[in-house]
């Protein structure tokens, strides 16, 4: 042993060289560790049911509100869509005395518009007959001059989009046109409301995402405090940061996933309870809401919960290891 050193003793490198065989065993070890972390993560739900499920329910409630708004917006869209299909008819009243040639030209112009599905002309004589039939009169006195205008019944492909609104404006400004029905306006308003709810729910989801990250992060932070000595030991015996953080990622992701699934269950329950009043409203407008298991919503909330749980574990775990463990 020399006090004044001289680098004489050379040992094989402390860092082993990787061979094909060690790569395979490293992959196997990696898979084994993932499997073990998953198993331990699930076992934590059984071993510490109170703290784990309290966190899961907190996540569920936080995710359920934007999820519910999202579902509601979809349902309003559904009602709006049904009404829009029904209300896609526009009655164009031409000026009295418009001759047949002009009517024919106008109708041809309408048919050439891309947003027009079909047109149907009701001449004044036909209109008079229909009126007589509705009034239960055999025939109206032919000596009286027919006061009814020619009506063109127009069916639009999408009555509430911008192109349809522009076409209405163009029709209204046509010198042959006296008036036209305005039935699609409130459908448009309904769709605007649903769009607002849709956007609001995404913003809420974004904001509440931070809450979910905090809730999961706090639970994991407590778990890390309990495991501080174990993590220090693993660092000492050569555990990598990824190795140390992996169980935490599984814990966070499992809690987030279950929180998302429970949130979906809460929304389904709430919708089922609200089906009757919603359908009463919807029936007045000739449509109906059917509450089915929201598979898309369940998958979406599960995925969001899982991602937020994983993100939270990453943030908390890395911060903890940086400050508390010499990894």
Partner 1 sequence: MIEFDGVSRRFSNGHFGLQDVRFHIPEGRMVFITGHSGSGKSTLLRLIPALDHPTSGTVRIGGHDLQKMPKHQYPKLRRQIGVVFQDHHLLPDRRVFDNVALPMQVAGFEPRDIRRRVEAALDKVGLLARQRARVDELSGGEQQRINIARALVNRPKILLADEPTGNLDPELSREIFNQFADFHAIGVTVLIASHDLHLLKTFAVPRIVLNQGRIAQIEEAF
DSSP, residue by residue, 157-204: SSTTSHHHHHHHHHHHTSTTEEEE--TTHHHHHHHHHHHHHHHHHHHH
Q: Under rule CB under 8 A, which residues in 19-78 are in contact with partner 1?
A: 25-26, 28-30, 32-33
Q: Which stretch binds partner 1 (CB under 8 A): 9-17, 91-99, 127-135, 295-303?
A: 9-17
Q: Counting beta carbons within 10 angstroms of the beta carbon of residue 253, is it exposed (0 to 12), middle (13 to 18) or buried (19 or more)?
A: buried
Give the shortest CB-279-to-partner 1 separation in angstroms: 55
Give the contacts of 34 (CB within 8 A, at least 6 positions apart): 246
Q: Which of 85, 121, 234, 278 binds partner 1 (CB under 8 A)?
A: 234
Q: For residues 33 and 221, which CB has a smaller minimum distance to partner 1 in the complex? A: 33
What element of type H or E holds 151?
Answer: strand 151-156
Q: Which of 35, 54, 132, 233 binds partner 1 (CB under 8 A)?
A: 233
Identity of the residue, 134 or 226, whose beta carbon is nearer to partner 1 in the bound complex: 226
Angle at 84 between CA 71 and CA 287, to 5 degrees: 60
Options 7-15, 37-45, 251-259, 278-286: segment touching partner 1 (CB under 8 A): 7-15
Judged by CB under 8 A, does residue 272 bind partner 1? no
Report the run of H or E that residue 143 belongs to, with start and end: none
Which one among 134, 238, 276, 295 touches partner 1, defined by CB under 8 A?
Answer: 238
Asked if 326 touches partner 1 (CB under 8 A), the answer is yes
Phi, psi at residue 281, to the nearest 5°? -70, -45
Cα of 23 vs its chain's centroid, Å: 43
Binding site for partner 1 (CB under 8 A): 1-16, 25-26, 28-30, 32-33, 229-230, 232-240, 243, 326-327
């Amino acid at each position: 042993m020399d006090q004044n050193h001289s680098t004489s003793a050379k040992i094989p490198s402390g860092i082993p060289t990787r061979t094909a065989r060690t790569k395979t065993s490293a992959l196997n070890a990696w898979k084994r560790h993932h499997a073990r972390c998953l198993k331990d993560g699930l076992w934590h739900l059984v071993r510490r049911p109170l703290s784990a499920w309290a966190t899961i329910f907190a996540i569920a409630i936080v995710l359920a509100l934007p999820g519910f708004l999202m579902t509601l917006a979809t349902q309003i869209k559904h009602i709006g869509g049904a009404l829009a299909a029904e209300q896609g008819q526009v009655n164009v009243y031409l000026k009295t005395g418009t001759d047949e040639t002009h009517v024919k030209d106008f109708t041809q112009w309408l048919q050439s518009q891309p947003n027009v599905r079909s047109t149907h002309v009701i001449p004044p004589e036909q209109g008079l007959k229909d009126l007589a039939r509705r009034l239960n009169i055999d025939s109206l006195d032919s000596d009286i001059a027919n006061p009814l205008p020619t009506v063109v019944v127009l069916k639009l492909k999408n009555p509430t989009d911008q192109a349809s609104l522009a076409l209405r404006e163009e029709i209204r400004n046509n010198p042959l046109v006296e008036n036209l029905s305005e039935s699609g306006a409130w459908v448009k308003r309904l769709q605007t409301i649903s769009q607002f709810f849709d956007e609001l729910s995404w913003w809420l989801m974004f904001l509440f995402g931070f809450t979910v990250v905090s809730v999961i992060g706090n639970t994991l932070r407590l778990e890390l405090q309990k495991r501080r000595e174990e993590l220090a030991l693993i660092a000492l015996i050569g555990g990598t940061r990824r190795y140390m953080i992996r169980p935490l990622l599984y814990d966070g992701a499992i809690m987030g996933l279950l929180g998302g699934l429970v949130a979906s269950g809460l929304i389904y329950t709430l919708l089922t309870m609200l089906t009757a009043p919603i359908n009463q409203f919807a029936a007045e407008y000739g449509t109906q809401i059917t509450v089915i298991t929201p598979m898309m919503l369940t998958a979406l909330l599960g995925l969001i919960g899982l991602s937020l749980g994983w993100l939270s574990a990453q943030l908390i775990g890395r911060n903890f290891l940086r400050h508390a463990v010499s990894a």
